Every structure is written in structure tokens, then in C-alpha cells.
Amino acid sequence: MVQNKWFGEERKASLIQRQKEADAEGVPLSLELTIGGPPAKYHISVYEPKVSYYSRLQRTIVAYDSKKNSWHCPCAKPKQACKHKAIGKWHLFQTKRHLFRRLKSTDSEGTLPPQLTSEQDGSQREEGNYPPRDKGVERMLKYIAANKKLPAEIPQALIQQSRDAHVLNGYPRHLIPKETRCMECDCMLSDPVLITSKGRILSANSVIEGISTYRRVCLDCNMVYRYQEWEDGVHNFDDHLILSLHLCLSLRNGIQTHTAVSRLLDTFEATEKMSFPNKDRVLQAYLHFEALTDHEYMYACISCGYNPSVIVMDLHKKGSVTLKAHQTTMMVMWTSNSSGML
């Protein structure tokens, strides 16, 4: 387990010491309980030498949910590591090794969510520390901006696949980063860790619920990787809201023909008898798609020259910003023959 980075040397020494204390008392260090309940949950009785509110009889019970990939111990917060959880993990590593298997494929359809231990020692490896903050999120965003750009011209076959995927059940159900080694330090990444199992894919004619998204973490430098693969016909906004590429292009074409995003969404809802989430959030997801698209610009600016690096949405106050008219006039670049997007 130390070789595979589940534990560090310090944790290993503390667990061996606790094993010696249990042996001296003549009691088992850990023991799996069969107390009923769903088969995906495991309960392990762990020896605790100190009597406390959670160990009146010098034992405490830790629980592992293999579906949610989460641990619970009464001595610690849900996302916080502790010695009892580590002992429970050690126990399952010996008795239920299949829970520690590594995924060899990220094919989503027909693949069950990976049942993997999630609480790696170290602050960045705790589920509660996602998304990362400060330097961590800056590193992740720089990597996405540099390596996950969508092409200016998306292949037509992929657009058709994205449009018809709801009929053919072709959208991926488990969105797992394709990276297996760190792109900065070339170290192995952790197994996929579940972010949410309640994600949604929005298309122009359907809303698909129950999408699972995952992340990986470098076991050396703590670089975080998330799913951002446009080749599957989808665009991941915030791990909970995912847009189909066909929907993104439909919104782009609507804006270029002077139709606000909110009106387009109202049209899709009325036509398909469905309900989209908050429309401002969908707008932000669409703008995120445009920000990650490697656009080919034909516009020439007097100050900047050709190919400016910023898209300006013109004449679409309702679709882009909620500012007063005089404020919009000051902030938007106007042209006499605007096509909607420059």
C-alpha cells in the first residue's frame, strides 16, 4: 500500500504500532461486521485503546460506501482522514482487493463507476478540497487552456453524433480524465475519484440526468486533472453541467442571427417539452465553450492588428450582460454591419 501511495511511511509506522497494541491486549485490530444493509457498504470494527464518546468499549466502527467512494468514522469529519479509516482501508485491501482495482479503460457506456478508495493522505487528495484553490486552480486552468482547446471547425460527423446521441444512448455516462500520468512531473496519477453522480448533459432536444464526473490527482505534485474531452461530443462546464457540442453551436448560430440565448432555450423547452436549469448558468457554460474554442478571426483592429484574442458579443445585451443601456454602449464594441460575434 505504501508503494502504491495509499499510505506514507509515517502512516505505516502508526498503523503497525496500533497493531502491536491490539496484539498486546489480545484483541483483533480490525473485524468486518455483517449487520445487513446494501452490499455496497462495508462496516469495520476497529480497535481504539482510548475510551471516548465514540469508543466506549475501546472499539469504533468505520464505514465505506463503494458506490459513493466515501468513508465515515465518528471521530472525524466525512472528508477528513483518520487512523481508524486508514485501518479500515488496510483491512479491505487484504480482504476485498477488488475495491482497489485500477481502471484500464475510460469507455463510459456499460462500465460501472470505479469502486476505488478516495481518501489519499495529503490535503489536495481529500475529496473536500475540490475544486482546488489559489495556485492549484491556476495550474489546472492553465493546463486546460493550453491543452484542451476545441478546433475552430468541429468535424461535421462529431456534430451529427452529438445531435443524435440522445436517441442512440450515445452520450458517455462516466466522464473520466484520459490522463494517467502527470503532464508536469510525469508521475502516476491517482485512480479516478468521483466528483458527482448527479451531473446533467444538456442538448437541444433532451436533458440527460445521472452523469458521473471524475478527477485525478498527481501523487507527487498534487496537480488536478478533470474531464475536458470534446472528442466525445460534449463540453464540460463545471463537472455538474455539461453541454452537447450541437447545443453549443445552436446557441452560437442563434446569437449570430440576433437571438438571445434565453429565447433560444425557451424555444427548445417549448418544442421538446423539457426544462433546462437556470438560463444564466447555461449562458455561462456556453461562454466557457467559446472561451476554449480556437477561433479563426478575420477582424482587424486599428490598435491590435489582425486576430485579436478576445471575442466581443455585439447587440446582445439580453444574451451576454445585464447592464443598463448607457453602460452597455460604453463597454461593447459597435460596428455598422455587425454579424453578432467579432
Say yes or no to pLDDT of 316 above 50. Answer: no
CA terminus-to-terminus distance, the chain: 55
Residue 113: the pLDDT is 40
The parent domain of residue 89 ranges over 9-100
Residue 64, strand partner residues: 42, 71
**Is the same domain home to 148 and 217?**
yes
Asked which of 6-15, 152-161, 234-243, 298-307 is least confident by mean pLDDT, the reply is 298-307
**Is the same domain home to 132 and 256?**
yes
Dihedral over Cα of 65, 69, 70, 71: its sign: positive
Alpha-carbon span 300 to 154, nearest angstrom: 24
Residue, of 164 and 35, whose pLDDT is higher: 164
Contact 243, 290 (CB under 8 A): no
Alpha-carbon span 190 to 308, nearest angstrom: 39
The answer to whether residue 259 is domain-embedded is yes
Average pLDDT of span 15-36: 90
Average pLDDT of span 36-62: 88
The answer to whether residue 327 is domain-embedded is yes
> 220: burial class by Cβ within 10 Å (0-12, 13-18, 19+)?
middle
**Is the same domain home to 274 and 167?**
yes
**Is the same domain home to 244 and 157?**
yes
Asked which of 142-151, 163-172, 280-289 is least confident by mean pLDDT, the reply is 163-172
Residue 302: the pLDDT is 74
Say yes or no to pLDDT of 250 above 60. Answer: yes
Q: Is the pTM of this model over 0.85?
A: no
Grid cell 468535424 in the structure block, residue: 155
Render pLDDT for 64-114 as a digit per residue (tens, 0 to 9).
988 888 889 999 887 788 999 999 999 998 888 878 765 443 333 333 444
φ, ψ at 136 (rounded to 5°)? -65, -45
The answer to whether residue 151 is domain-embedded is yes
